[in-house]
Amino acid sequence: MFNADLFDRSLNLIILRSIKIIKNCTDRKKSGSTIKVEEKIKTIEKKQSLQKSRKVNVSCKGIYKIYKKGQIEVVALKDVNLEIYAGELVVIMGPSGSGKTTLLNVISGMTKPSAGTIKVKNIDITRLKDDQLRNLLQNDIGIVFQFFNLVPSLTAHGNVELPMLIAKKPKEYRKKKILELITAVGMEKRMNHRPFTLSGGEKQRIAIASAFANNPTLILADEPTGNIDSISSEKVLNIFKAFLEKNPDKSIVIVTHDMNIRKIADRTLIIQDGHIFLELGKETDQNSKNHNNKEYRNINFNSSGFQSDDIIRRALDPEYSIIKYKEINSCTDCDSEDIIKQFDQDSGFLQIINNHVITKVIVFCKTCNKVTFIPAAIYAIRGAT
């Protein structure tokens, strides 16, 4: 006859013994690698717990943007799903035409998506009327443009004050806020100068101060370091970093080709063909993931590869043999032939070297997940071998 009580006691005894055996094995084998695995699991769990508890400032679900011209359809964004948390600086990178700026525009509400929902501060902006959207842009979203978008007839002081005038902020508030912002961007001595007397870096700092004027929850920046020198770029990065440290409830999203910005980013999203296909953590993190949460090793972005001067110098080296674009068939690190290659159209440089037209080629290896930059010949001038 079946004895249920005896069966339960026996089963519990087996389970206890199994746990003890596993524990003993673990204790005996607890080397550095085991500890590292456990630490990594704890880190992942901690990050997941932190993300769940953090406030979501922006939520994008199933975003599509399709442009139509006659019978032709161009899919600019394809099933983009994204959450941006309070206190987070997110960088979006990708080749020209990949959908970076379109994504920024639909998050701002300036472009309506063809499908999907976008929530800013839990408000679905795709359903807002024009006056509601205008109010959101005035008070909750600040935009930093690549070409500054300053009013030429106004001084730096006047350009910072303008968003507050439009939002009908009180005079005393405006006076206090202008001084605070201009001091924060280090432009006190230039506040009475008009844009044409300012350098590119100074214009960008005033543009950032203007974007901060109405204390927005979300800052969107399109190539904020694209038209300024490296010293000014560093100042811009410090401004963004200081802003988030002072305002941990805010978020910043930056579209850029500047690899230097990655050092202050909490996350970097790589977008291609309108789809976020890879997500990287902080520059020091070793883990990254694709959009389907599959684990990847960290992509080794070679920052010098984005500096066209380095590539030109390499290409001019007489010891360097010219590689033809069609001859790039494998990864330089792991020799895998499973690669994606294309011209880097964003740097915009072409050089004629030894009767060959040389440009920069980006190679992404699907096997080792590394990006490399190779100067290669895309065209041989008549008479060249």
CATH superfamily of 55-297: P-loop containing nucleotide triphosphate hydrolases (3.40.50.300)
For 108, the enclosing helix (H) or strand (E) is helix 100-108
Angle at 166 between CA 160 and CA 184, to 5 degrees: 20
Q: Give residue 23's pLDDT band: very low, low, confident or very high (50, 70, 90).
A: low
Distance CA 333, CA 299 (A): 12
User: Torsion angle, CA of 204/108/270/43, rounded to 10 degrees?
Assistant: 100
Could you tell me which residue, 285 or 80, shows the higher pLDDT? 80
- What's residue 258's pLDDT? 78
pLDDT, tens digit, for every residue of 35-88?
A: 555 665 555 555 555 555 678 999 999 999 998 877 778 888 989 999 999 999
- What's residue 48's pLDDT? 55
Distance CA 118, CA 103 (A): 11
Average pLDDT over residues 27-39: 52
Distance CA 267, CA 90 (A): 5
Q: Does the pLDDT value for residue 171 go beyond 50? A: yes
pTM: 0.62
Q: Does the pLDDT value for residue 292 go beyond 70? A: no
Nearest to 118 by CA among 131, 102, 139: 102
User: What residues does each domain of the chain span?
Assistant: 55-297, 303-380
- What's residue 288's pLDDT? 46
- What's residue 256's pLDDT? 85
Query: DSSP character for 95?
Result: S
Helix (H/G/I), strand (E/B), else coil: 107? helix
Please tell me the number of Cα atoms within 13 Å of 251 on its side-chain side: 23
Asked if residue 74 lies in contact with residue 133, where contact means CB atoms within 8 angstroms, the answer is no
Q: Give residue 253's pLDDT band: very low, low, confident or very high (50, 70, 90).
A: very high
Q: Does the pLDDT value for residue 136 go beyond 80? A: yes
Highest-scoring range by mean pLDDT, 52-56, 196-200, 374-378: 196-200
What is the C-alpha R_g of the chain? 26
